[in-house]
Amino acid sequence: MRIIVTGGAGFIGSWLVRHLVSQTTHSVLNLDKLTYAANPDNLLDVAGAQTYEFRQVDICDAVSVDRAFREFRPDAVMHLAAESHVDRSILAARDFVDTNVLGTFTLLEAARRYRDDLPAPQRDAFRFLHVSTDEVFGSLGAEGLFREDTPYAPNSPYSASKASSDMLARAWFHTHGLPVLISNCSNNYGPYQFPEKLIPVVILSALEGRPIPVYGDGMNVRDWLYVEDHIAALMVILEKGVPGETYNVGGHNEATNIDLVTRICAVLDEALPQSTSRPHADLISFVEDRKGHDRRYAIDPSKIGAELGWRTQTSVDVGLRKTVHWYLHNSDWWQPLRERASLRNLTAAKEAG
C-alpha cells in the first residue's frame, strides 16, 4: 500500500512512519512542515529506505499538496499533522486554526480531487484516516466515559480547532463520498515525545534537579495511551475500519496528574540511586492552573475492541518505565531540542523587550 502520512516527523507521526516502513508491503511519503516540534532525527532509522520519501510541505499549501498526490499516487492518507500543545493554543490560536482547520480542509479537497480521477477499483479502496483527540469532547465529571456519540464540547483553542477539523472530515464523507475514517485518542506518551509535554517535562526537570511543575491541585485526570498501542490501533482502523465511522482509542489507564508524576519520580528514584535529587517527588511544585483546564478525560474504547479487535497492550506502569529509561539513555536526542527551545525563548524575550 502507498500511504501519505502528514506530520510524520512529529512524535506520533514518526512512530507511524517507522512502523510502516518496517513493513515491506508499504511505501510512505511523509509530508511535514518541520515546525519547532518536528524532528528529522526521529526518522534516521528509515531515512535511507527505498520505500520512504520525505517532502517539507505545509499542508495549507494546496499546490504542493496536490502535487504530492499526483506524483506519489497514494492508496491512503493518514493525517496526523497538527499543532497540538494546549498552552501554545491559548497564546497563539491563529497557528492552530491555520494548520488544524485550513490544513485539514486543503488535504480533504486534494484527496477528493485525486480520488475522483481514480479507476473504480482504486477509487473504492482509497481511504483517508483523520487522527484526532479526545479533547474535542470537553471535560467529564467524576463518572462516565467518552463514547463515539458523546457531544462535542471543546474548551481550548486547540480542542476547538481539532473539533472543527473532525467536522470537516465528517462532512467530506457525507457530502462528497470521500471514504473518511476518524479516530479520537487519549493522551499519548512514550519515547521521542517533544520535551514540552507533561511526561518529558517531569523526567527532564527531575534529571536536572529543577522544580517539577504540576498545574493547579494536580487532580486533573487523563487516560494514558502508550504510543506503540496507538500505532497498532491506527493500522487496524485503516485496514478494517468502516468509512464514515469514528473510533475512540484509549489506554484504560486513568490517572491523576499528581499520581502520574509521583509514579515517574519513583521510577527515577529506582533508576538513579546516586542522584542528589532523591527522592525526586520532593521537586514537585504546584503552579497556577492552566486557563480552561479540563478536569477529566476518559475514553471508552469498546467499539474498536468489539468491531476491529484492538486492545491496548501496555499498562501505564510498564509504559512509564520504558519511557523513563529511554530518556535516561538518549540525551543526545533531547538535549539539542532543549537547547534550541532555550535559544528560541531567549530570542522571544529580547524581541519582547
In whole angstroms, give the CA distance from residue 49 to residue 245: 33
Q: Taking 70 as the threshold, does the pLDDT of residue 353 lie above it?
A: no
Determine the 3-state secondary structure of 132 from DSSP: strand
- pLDDT band at 351; cut points 50, 70, 90: very low
Per-residue pLDDT at 121: 93
Q: Which residue has the higher pLDDT, 348 or 186?
A: 186
Q: Do the Cβ atoms of 16 and 8 come closer than 8 Å?
A: yes
Burial class, 225, CB count within 10 angstroms (exposed 0-12 / middle 13-18 / buried 19+): buried
Average pLDDT over residues 39-50: 93
Half-sphere exposure of 196 (CA within 13 A, CB side): 17
Check pLDDT > 80 for residue 157. Answer: yes
- Domain extents in the chain: 2-190+225-251+297-314
Q: What is the mean pLDDT of residues 298-306?
A: 96
What is the mean pLDDT of the segment spanning 285-299? 91
Residue 294's pLDDT is: 87
What percentage of the chain carries pLDDT values higher than 90? Answer: 86
pLDDT band at 341 (very low <50, low <70, confident <90, very high): low
Q: 47-61, 233-247, 272-286, 333-347 — which is least confidently predicted?
A: 333-347
The pLDDT assigned to 346 comes to 31
Burial 102-139 (b: 16+ CB within 10 A, else e): bbbbbbbbbbeebbeeeeeeeeeebbbbbbbbbbbbbb
pLDDT tier at 156, thresholds 50, 70, 90: very high
For residue 348, name the pLDDT band (cuts at 50, 70, 90).
very low
Q: 2-190+225-251+297-314 has which CATH code?
A: 3.40.50.720
Residue 347 has pLDDT above 60, yes or no: no
Mean pLDDT for the chain overall:
93
Q: What is the mean pLDDT of residues 15-21?
A: 97
> In whole angstroms, what is the distance from residue 260 CA to residue 172 CA?
39
Please check the confidence at residue 27 and state whether its pLDDT lies above 60: yes
Mean pLDDT of 6-29: 95
Residue 78 pLDDT: 98
Question: Which residue numbers are catalytic?
Answer: 134-135, 158
Residue 42 above 60 pLDDT? yes
Question: pLDDT tens across 158-183, in order?
Answer: 999 999 999 999 999 999 999 999 99
Is 50 exceeded by the pLDDT of residue 344? no
Mean pLDDT of 72-80: 98
Identity of the amino acid at 266: A
- In this predicted structure, what is the pLDDT of residue 342? 56
User: Where residue 337 falls among pLDDT bands split at 50, 70, 90?
Assistant: confident
